[in-house]
Amino acid sequence: MRRPAERTAAPPAAAVPAEEASRTALSAVVADDLSGAAEVAGALLLRRRPCTVLLQAPPAGSAAGARGTVVVDLDHRAAEPAAAHAAVTAAVSALTSGGSPGGGLLAVKLDSLWRGNVGATVRALRDQGFTVVVAGALPALRRSVVDGVPLVDGTALARTDLWHLEPRPAPERVADLLAGAGPVLEVGLATVRSPGLARVLARSTAGGSSVVADAESEDDLAAIAVAAVELVAHGHPAADPLVLRLDGTHADPRAAVVRLAERAVALVGARDLVLTGGETARAVLTRLGVDTLRPVAQLSHGAVVSVTADGRLVATKPGSFGGPGELHELVRLLHRLRAAAPAREDARAHLEAL
């Protein structure tokens, strides 16, 4: 599967410290005008992410060794659809020749009021074999998508006069702009904010659909980006976690911990681990032969992710710490970290560089 292409009005501005580990997944951004390209560059600078803005597509393969994110302005906002299609085709072909720079996500920056060649851009991406996730929101200016409808300050875009200089009426729905670009699936806010978002995206894109995802907030955009990164890293959502736990029926708690550790070692294989309870964590790691942990991220007080000498990620937390969603959030954090360093043999060196 080709790398998903994500369209976002602007990268999320709210920094979540744990998500810094997945920042390398954004390899290139194609913008439809210079102000949009500069907007993306500004957001990357806030994250201390190196980037370069190009005013034309680079020669094929020349960006493969670039450090950080390559942002290209194609200046096709006012172009005819055929010209926009050709420009996007040439740019993404050049950026992904021999693998896109950094091996990660390709984002396409379009106008947050949905002006310009949205449909032609999506068609060009699909014609090149990309799957497409369209996530349109600019929370700072109260521009969002709810139930597939583009909104400005809570009012449907089609009910405003913001398209008065455009040659056609504003769209009632984002999907209206994608007519002729293949099947489209709309994903609502409830799904965007659910743990199953990555699986929904995978099923939809595997079936040949582009996805139009609702988004209102920075958190919504971040969730969509993380789900897209999971598709890039795995070609499908991360496998369902293997859950092992004590059932509370053992008379001897220490013997139960030993039994749990033995069963875990027999089943986990090369999986990354989320371990809760100090005694349990120690028993599992001892049986795996792990004698050194290097902490690389902290989700909350006491909930720490470390990397082992052989590149396994291990999250640990005290048994009495954290809310009801803590274990789920630790699993999501491991997915993001693993997306940044998908190969076990490279994980330690990669994470040490973050």
pLDDT tens digit string along 120-168? Answer: 999 998 888 787 899 989 999 999 999 999 999 999 999 999 999 999 9
3-state helix, strand, coil in the chain (%, to 5): 40, 20, 40
Question: Is the pLDDT higher at 162 or at 327?
Answer: 162
Local confidence band at 335 (pLDDT 50, 70, 90 cut-offs): confident
Q: Across 62-66, 157-161, 221-225, 299-303, which has the greatest mean pLDDT?
A: 157-161
Alpha helices, DSSP H only, in the chain? Answer: 34-46, 81-95, 118-127, 189-192, 197-206, 218-234, 253-267, 278-288, 326-340, 344-352
CA 4 to chain centre: 10
Residue keyed to tokens 């009426």: 169
The average pLDDT across 267-288 equals: 80
SS3 of residue 226 by DSSP: helix
pLDDT over 50 at 101, yes or no: no
Q: What is the mean pLDDT of the chain?
A: 78
Q: Hey, what are 52's tokens?
A: 């370069």
Spatial distance between the Cα atoms of 58 and 74, rounded to a whole number of angstroms = 11
Closest CA to 254 of 289, 273, 282: 282
pLDDT over 90 at 117, yes or no: yes
Contact 233, 338 (CB under 8 A): yes
pLDDT tens digit string along 23-62? Answer: 445 788 999 999 999 999 998 888 888 888 999 887 765 6
Q: Across 46-60, 167-181, 206-220, which has the greatest mean pLDDT?
A: 167-181
Residue keyed to tokens 């996500």: 105
Q: What is the pTM of this model?
A: 0.60
Residue keyed to tokens 């937390």: 317
55, 60, 64, 70 alpha-carbon torsion, rounded to 10°:
20
Given CA atoms 276, 278, 279, 283 in this order, what sign does their dihedral have? positive
Residue keyed to tokens 């990620």: 313
Which percentage of the chain shows pLDDT scores above 90? 33
Local confidence band at 63 (pLDDT 50, 70, 90 cut-offs): low
Spatial distance between the Cα atoms of 270 and 351, rounded to a whole number of angstroms = 18
Give DSSP secondary structure letters for 21-71.
Answer: GGGGGEEEEEESSHHHHHHHHHHHHHTT--EEEESSPPPTTTTTT-SSEEE
Residue keyed to tokens 């009910």: 159
pLDDT over 80 at 95, yes or no: yes
Local confidence band at 247 (pLDDT 50, 70, 90 cut-offs): low
Which residues 6+ apart lie within 8 Å of 44 measured at CB? 11, 26, 50, 51, 68, 69, 71
Question: Is the pLDDT higher at 118 or at 322?
Answer: 118
What is the structure's pLDDT at 67? 64
Domains, the chain, ordered by start: 5-234 (3.40.50.10840), 253-352 (3.40.980.20)
Residue keyed to tokens 């949009």: 36
